[in-house]
Amino acid sequence: MSHKKSLKNLFPESKTDLNVLDLVFDSRKVKKGSVFFALVGTHQDGHSHLASAAKAGAGAVVVHNSEKIPSDYSGEVIVVPDTLSALAGAAQKFYDHPESKLKLFGVTGTNGKTTCVYMYEHMMANLGFSVGVMGTIDHHLKSQVWKSSLTTPDVVGVYERLRNFVDLGAQGAAMEVSSHALDQRRVEGLNYDVVLWTNLTRDHLDYHGTEENYFQAKQKLFLKHLKEKGVGLICADDVKLSSVQAVEGASLYRYGTNGDFIVQNIQKDLMGSRFQFVTPFGNAEVTVGTPGHHNILNAAGTLAAGLLMGNSLEKVADSLKDFKGAPGRMEKVHGGPHVFVDYAHTPDALASSLKTLKELKSKDQKLIAVFGFGGDRDRGKRPLMVEQGQRFADHVILTSDNPRTEDPLQILEEGLKGMSGSSDSSPVEMEVDREKAIHQALQMASTNDVILIAGKGHEDYQILGDQILPFSDHKVVREFFR
């Protein structure tokens, strides 16, 4: 579908009928016919790049400070109070308001976002609805896949992808909405039908500074991006979410081991879980084909969303029995030993994954954990992760996980500050080379042991310095057993 628009379509006050090629906020991407938006961010002010945009052929520029326009610029200048808000509004018009043609489901939370959107997609497909997904792993609709570099794309990318979904016949969209995206207003102008908050644990403090700032960033999904008659879902098991508020007119529900949608009579094994789901619409037995208590909670929130959208309890309760998980989320990649690859990269996520496997294994099975810590990220969580590793695993191997510009060995040594020195504590080893660390775990494991390789999940790269090198935990395991 063509999305050609004139400048007057986007800005009625425009004095020209320029045919708009695209909407750009990076001056390096400007071409003849682009409309350049001078966004003001924490580290960059787009007004400083107006000369570059003009030289590259921008047909119009959108600014809030007209004093910085180059004196020789002959294109149209549109002055607005807020250039980011103007960009979101222009993107909506440029892509013919795709958000109005889709049922929108948004998920935030430190952990579980990816699994919830994949569960939602799976549930809705079983209910007969086509849903596009935007998230950490990729953007996709059925067999059509677009690569993703951010959990939530920039504001133009959001509306472009929603347009793609509409053009390909989707009836809804499921989106991971990160705290960065909410703070940076990447979902500006978007209002969801249903939003879900999975949990709140320590993460991204290198960006937000404090846990309160982190909470308030995520709170915006409920206060600024939920429809007035929309539905908000909150995990009742996380006490940090007890004060969550929603926009006036919206309905708030809680799910978990207490609340409005309750899981009880839980049975678990390495293949998945079964539980009774007690809801305002009646009770049902539910089977989920992926292991872990955290996935029971993810399922409860997702199923509650399905019910609150008007689907029958019988069909919703049966919709996740063949769900096998999202890529790199507690994903079993080998049996004998039992090897799981998981994206857990925070203290709570690591504890949750290890606790799940510890509870499900027998006493004679050893649990080995392989994980590391991201470089140039929150350093305070490194010792906390080692503490959780020793708490639940029988053996811990620390290794590299995107060290970026930091010294890989120094990163691991910082983690050792959380190591218990008691004689009965689990041993902790260091191996900077991630491939060697995985091999070490596989070599020490017996056929019946359990291994968790955590941190990277679906990622197929390792960031060393300014280089992005090919690397896959899945591939290392597969090649080891060839």
Q: Tens digit of pLDDT for each residue in 354-398?
A: 999 999 999 999 999 999 999 999 999 999 999 999 999 999 999
Task: Report, in angstroms and rounded to the nearest whole number, the Rg of the chain calculated over CA atoms.
Answer: 24
Tens digits of per-residue pLDDT, 174-183? 999 999 999 9
Number of residues that this document lists for the chain: 482
The pLDDT of residue 42 is 80
In the prediction, which pLDDT does 383 show?
97
Q: Which tokens is 409 given?
A: 């060995």
**CATH class of the domain comprising 5-94:** alpha beta
Q: List, for residues 192-213, the tens digit of each pLDDT value.
A: 999 999 999 867 767 778 989 9
pLDDT in tens, 214-226: 999 999 999 999 9
Task: Select from 17, 183, 158, 181 the least CA-distant residue to 97.
Answer: 158
Q: How far apart are CA 399 and CA 432, in angstroms?
A: 5
Q: What's the angle, vertex CA 194, arms to CA 190 and CA 199, rounded to 5?
A: 100
Spell out the residues 6+ positions from residue 71 whose beta carbon is closer than 8 angstroms to its own: none
Classify domain 98-317 at the CATH topology level: UDP-N-acetylmuramoyl-L-alanine:D-glutamate ligase (3.40.1190)
Residue 2 pLDDT greater than 70, yes or no:
no
Residues 6+ apart with CB under 8 A from 2: none
Domain ranges of the chain: 5-94, 98-317, 331-480
- Report the predicted TM-score, pTM, of the whole model to 2 decimal places: 0.90
Protein fold of 331-480: Protein-Tyrosine Phosphatase; Chain A (3.90.190)
Summarize pLDDT for 41-96 with one digit per residue, the tens: 888 899 999 999 999 999 999 999 999 899 999 999 999 999 999 999 999 999 99
Average pLDDT over residues 103-132: 98
How far is the C-alpha of 478 from the C-alpha of 482, rounded, in Å? 6
- For residue 245, is pLDDT > 80? yes
> Which residues lie below 8 Å from residue 391, measured CB to CB, with a gap of 6+?
351, 354
Q: What is the pLDDT of residue 4?
A: 79
Beta strands 226-235 and 251-256, pairing class? parallel
- For 241, other C-beta atoms within 10 Å of its C-beta total 20
